[in-house]
Amino acid sequence: MFSVDILPSSELVLTELGINPDASGSMQVSHFQKVQCRAVINWLTKYKPSSDASNLEKVRGYLETCHHLSELENWKAAGKILSIRLNTPTRDEFHNQLNTWGYYRELLDLFTQLLGKLNSTWEMVLLNGLGNLHNSLGDYNTAIQYQRQHLAVAKASSDRQSEGLALGNIGLNLYFLGDCHQSIQYSEQSLAIVREVGDRRAESAALGNLGLAYDALGDYSKALDYQQQRLAIAQQIDDYRGQREAWGNLGLTYNSLGDYTRAIECHQQSLEISRNISDQFGEGQALGNLGLVYVSQGNYIGAIEYHQQSLQIARTIGDRRGESASLANLGNIAYYLGQYREALDFHQRSLVISQDIQDRRGEANSLGSLGSIYDASGDYEKAIAYHQQQMAIAKLIGDRDGEASGLGALGNAFLSMSDYEQAIGYFQQYLQMTEAIGDRSGKGVALGSLGNVYFSLEEYQPASEYYQQRLEIARDIGDRRGEGNVLCNLGAVAIRLEQYSQAIEYLQSALEIAISLKTRYIQAVTLQNLAAVHRRLSRYQEALEYCDRALEIATELEIPLLQECKELKEMLLNEQLERKSSEDG
């Protein structure tokens, strides 16, 4: 939380509102109006929150002032309160700062109260604000409804700049709903208009939105191109926040591509800019994104440090959505490490915050994560129940990406239960949905999941065919991490088919990718499989060497694979000894 001096002086605010405290008693108005006016003055001049008050309590005077101004039907003055810039590091206007802090219900009340009470310019500001607010809440369909109203007022007012802004925000919400092709159409319309009116900042934002949509579609080349265009404009116009966002989005795309060195460089740039402009919100995001890259590399210790820093900043500035995200990221790491009790605790705390701020998408994500933890813990009934709740919310808010993710998670739960028929049914639905929304990356994951089912069924030929399709997509979209993972799976198939030379070829290729990407977990799994191949070939010395390397990484990462490596090493040593005894005999 900030120190108590985040508010401008009460004298400046009263002057801006046109209120003279000394003359309020002599005003020729009704008693009711005098009472309301005196309340405004008292809240602005006499309310003194304690030094350890929450951020909401520190701005309580402004909220109450808006209420009393509304009672006076002094809508213009209430609007001025919303526009006051606070003395926070980002110097945001009051209403934007409330959004950053996650006080969505308070904002809903303020915006709804003023809607229809001011001129068309304010009407567009409020409709846009309500749209952005519902976007923050994960209610994208309602957000689109407000942005369509915003668009209608902009057209009626012949305000091309606002028209472009509304189209861009509709496109952004469609992206969050997983309708990326429609998102691209709206973003392109927005781009054309903002270029026409010469709004360079909005042009930069539209390019960024296009980059997000193409990234979601797995077209990483176009995603990078649009984000680089966005960055160039932001640099030209000294839009530091735009630069910070562009670097962050570039980092996310490079992470998807498995280019972790570049991803880290981009997020470090975003972090540096955020710190230079005292943008703590951006700093927290950049630290969280760095944590995600470290997770992708299997560097869980480094990732935890970044996510803990991000969590601390979110709590300091009152960014409740950011706090929820950081807790979820820490929960994911605990899950990867097999620390299921800690993972449950993190995700349950994240869920409580999402529910409290009415972030439906965040709520669905937390429910899905809890389901995956119960799946891994062997409590399949709970896993399925949580994933079904996740699916229900995704359908309710029209989040097709979330719905696809839920289908995949349910497939995994039934796979864990060895209910292969149900698993295949869910994975096929997952595949169909990714094809419908044009998500090539998701399609690849769905194909790989179907391969996993057939591998479990010991039907290695269809498993291999699905893995080959997964490999083709990974290579086509430049997904190096996905390529490495599926090569490891193909190696495992080849071992079962006793195609040992082919298995070694796949696994060596997977190992090369894993080493280049520094994905320690995949290195460990691949080395374990290489040890298994050489064991089949009775090459015990080579098998032990690979097993020791896998054991070293698994010990470093403290992952469940550690026990499997120990058991494999024990078997190798026993078999090597038996062979030696047989030869000596």
User: pLDDT, tens digit, for every residue of 373-405?
Assistant: 999 888 999 999 999 999 999 998 888 888 999
On whether residue 232 sits in a domain, the answer given is: no
* Residue closest to 492 by CA, chosen among 520, 451, 521: 451
For residue 337, the enclosing domain spans 319-435
What's the pLDDT score for residue 156? 96
pLDDT at 2 over 60: no
What's the pLDDT score for residue 349? 98
What's the pLDDT score for residue 330? 98
| Higher pLDDT, residue 253 or 517 | 253
Tell me 278's DSSP state: T
On whether residue 461 sits in a domain, the answer given is: no
What's the pLDDT score for residue 369? 96
On whether residue 279 sits in a domain, the answer given is: no
d(CA 69, CA 36): 7
Cβ atoms 517, 297 nearer than 8 A: yes
Residue pLDDT, tens place only, 115-150: 999 999 999 999 999 999 888 777 888 999 999 999
H/E stretch holding 461: helix 460-477
Strand, helix or coil for residue 27? coil
Could you tell me the CATH number of the domain that includes residue 383?
1.25.40.10
On whether residue 286 sits in a domain, the answer given is: no
Query: How long is the chain?
Result: 585
| Higher pLDDT, residue 4 or 498 | 498
| Higher pLDDT, residue 92 or 467 | 467
Highest mean pLDDT among 89-103, 292-306, 379-393: 379-393
d(CA 90, CA 244): 13
Predicted confidence band of residue 90 (pLDDT cuts 50, 70, 90): low
d(CA 527, CA 507): 8
Cβ atoms 538, 523 nearer than 8 A: no
Percent of the chain whose predicted confidence (pLDDT) is above 70: 98
pLDDT at 547 over 90: yes
Query: 537-576 burial, b if ≥16 CB within 10 A, otherwise e?
Result: eeebeebbebbebbbebbeebebebbebbeebbeebeeeb
What's the pLDDT score for residue 559? 76
Mean pLDDT of the chain: 91
pLDDT at 281 over 80: yes
Residue pLDDT, tens place only, 21-65: 776 655 667 889 889 999 999 999 999 888 888 888 999 999 999
Predicted confidence band of residue 89 (pLDDT cuts 50, 70, 90): low
d(CA 96, CA 85): 9
On whether residue 362 sits in a domain, the answer given is: yes
pLDDT at 322 over 70: yes
Report CA-CA distances (Å) from 269 to 29, 211, 306, 347: 57, 18, 15, 30
* Residue closest to 460 by CA, chosen among 426, 488, 494: 494
* Residue closest to 147 by CA, chosen among 161, 129, 160: 129
What's the pLDDT score for residue 25? 58
3-state SS, 129-190, equals HHHHHHHHCCCHHHHHHHHHHHHHHHHHCCCHHHHHHHHHHHHHHHHHCCCHHHHHHHHHHH
Radius of gyration of the chain from Cα atoms? Answer: 28
Which tokens in the block code for residue 447?
């194909």
Number of domains, the chain = 1
Report CA-CA distances (Å) from 81 to 12, 76, 108, 297: 12, 9, 15, 47
- Mean pLDDT on 80-96: 86
What's the pLDDT score for residue 534? 96
Cβ atoms 242, 204 nearer than 8 A: yes
pLDDT at 94 over 80: yes
On whether residue 400 sits in a domain, the answer given is: yes
Predicted confidence band of residue 216 (pLDDT cuts 50, 70, 90): confident
What's the pLDDT score for residue 585? 60
Report CA-CA distances (Å) from 365 to 193, 279, 360, 371, 515: 35, 27, 9, 10, 31
- Mean pLDDT on 357-380: 91
What's the pLDDT score for residue 24? 60
On whether residue 430 sits in a domain, the answer given is: yes
CB under 8 Å to 287, separation ≥6 — which residues? 271, 306, 307, 309, 310, 313
pLDDT at 205 over 70: yes
Strand, helix or coil for residue 48? coil
Residue pLDDT, tens place only, 431-465: 999 998 888 889 999 999 999 999 999 999 999 99
On whether residue 53 sits in a domain, the answer given is: no
What's the pLDDT score for residue 96? 85
Tell me 84's DSSP state: P
H/E stretch holding 61: helix 60-71
* Residue closest to 268 by CA, chosen among 248, 246, 239: 248
Percent of the chain whose predicted confidence (pLDDT) is above 90: 69
Residue pLDDT, tens place only, 218-274: 888 999 999 999 999 999 999 998 999 999 999 999 998 888 899 999 999 999 999
Predicted confidence band of residue 77 (pLDDT cuts 50, 70, 90): very high
Cα diameter, the chain:
116
* Residue closest to 201 by CA, chosen among 245, 157, 158: 245
What's the pLDDT score for residue 56? 87
pLDDT at 362 over 80: yes
